[in-house]
Structure 1
Amino acid sequence: MLSCDASRAFPANLGITGEVISTPGHSEDSVSLVLDSGEAVVGDLYPIAQVPLYDNPVLTETWQNLPAHHLETICYAHSLSDDISSTLSFK
């Protein structure tokens, strides 16, 4: 098992510059691959437009923490990608 804290080395061995981060919300053990180039593959994390529908504080906190990674594009497993700079505002 690979911890998120040590997750830069594994993708680097594959020529990928990025890290795996914890992104709970869909499930408590959800993770996402965040690339240094500004993209993130968030898997089953609910799209940002759906966050208010779930009334889930963990999901909301995950989305509030993602901008700290300087992301531009979010790629979902079951949806199209989003430009995070124009969509990261919800209440």
Structure 2
Amino acid sequence: MKLTSAQVKQTITQLGAQVLPDEHPAMPQLNSMFGDHTFFVDEIGLKVLEPTPSLAADRETGEVVSLADWDDTELTKLTAHEPEPTGIIVVFDHSLH
């Protein structure tokens, strides 16, 4: 799921992760491996959001999916794994689009 700048801000606020900018040197490889997403990193690893059904018409939601975990204590090397839904749902406020 590729996010708008408003959705990125809301995700950072709710998730506490950092977004990887589109200019990041790893982006071509990440897009090749995982598709066109907005990527986030936190103390555990690499995450994306996948759209989820929302019950409210004025809200969109996305579930956080883990794609890779840090392989070292310095947080410099990621090891990819099968996508794992985390159960964490980010709620987007439509009025901020």
Per the TM superposition, whether the score is higher than 0.5 is no
Larger RCO (CA under 8 A, 6+ residues apart): 2
Give the helix-richer structure, 1 or 2: 1
Mark the structure with the bigger radius of gyration.
2
Give the strand-richer structure, 1 or 2: 2
Q: TM-score normalised to the size of structure 2?
A: 0.30
